[in-house]
Every structure is written in structure tokens, then in C-alpha cells.
Amino acid sequence: MTRKLLEPVVSKEEAVRALNGHLDNWLAKFIYKKKRLKSIEKVYLPYFCFPYRLDSRSLNGEIVGLIAIETYEGISAILPVNHPLLEIEEHLTFLPFKQLISKEQAYEAVYWDLFQKEKDRKTISLKIEEPFLIYVPYWIGYLQGKEYDILPLDAVTGQIDLKMKPSLLHAFLQEDQIQKIH
């Protein structure tokens, strides 16, 4: 199976600023109490990425896209087709994947993400192609206070991504399978 990287855009310095900025807002101070950023690292979480083609009466022509589904919680994301995909590089930390994602799961994810408000669903034509493995970069902020915690930041968008925290924690629990590509 082909393996690619989604190109990280956010530098370590930008990630530290974003994480500290998040911890300094009033709501985060209430939620995280006195937790401070202790350290940070970049990891790559695996997603199965499915190219798709769709057509519908409500669309003007065929749309080609990519849907990525992570392998722990099944969280899906529509990816921009023009975002650079890189070859696997040496000495990066790749988290293990938990389970294979089927074409049927990808079909459901695309269908409901794009057409949940579509009234005439009979006119939808959706084709899912063969998947490839894509590694998405995240900056993980390790927090220390009375207890330890993590705060994930998407290294592509620069946004704090709390919905990915369970997936990242599951992946860390499978630490014996974390891969270093040499």
C-alpha cells in the first residue's frame, strides 16, 4: 500500500505560541487549572485516504476529492486535493494504525459529509477508489500540573484539535508499535 505524508505547515515555534495562547485564555485556565506546557513533539497519525468521484444534479459537473479516515475513532476529514503529499521521510515518528478502513466506510463518510442536506439523494453517483495510507502531522503539547495531559495541534491548519485527543492517546498506548522509518 502506498504511504504518503501530509505536508506540515506549522513550525515548532508557531505551535508553542498557539498552545500557550490556548492555555492562557480564560476558559482554558478554568479547564486546565494550572497546567503549563512542559514539552512538545511532532507525531504523524495514520489515516486511510480514499480518492473519490461524485456527481449529482445539484452539482455542476463531477467533483474529484479525497476523504481521510483515522483508524482509532473513525474520524473523517475531506482533504483539499491540491495540498502537497510528500514521500515518507527518514527519522520521523509514525504512530501505528489500529484497523483497516473499508471502501464502504469511506462511502458512508463522504455521502453523509457532503449530502446530509441533499433532498434528492437518488441522483447522487459516488465512486470510491483504492485507498492509500496518509500520515497527518500533529504537534503534541505535553502539559504538567497536578496531573499530566496532552493538547493536540494540527500541524497543517495550526488549530487546536481536541477531537483528535482520544485517537492520539490510543495510538500512544500502542507505543511498542510506533515506527521509526530509517
Domain range annotation of the chain: 3-180
With vertex at residue 72, the alpha carbon angle to CA 38 and CA 111, rounded to the nearest 5 degrees, is 125
pLDDT tens, residue by residue, 106-155: 988 888 777 665 555 566 788 999 999 999 999 999 998 878 889 999 99
pLDDT tens, residue by residue, 46-61: 999 999 998 877 677 7
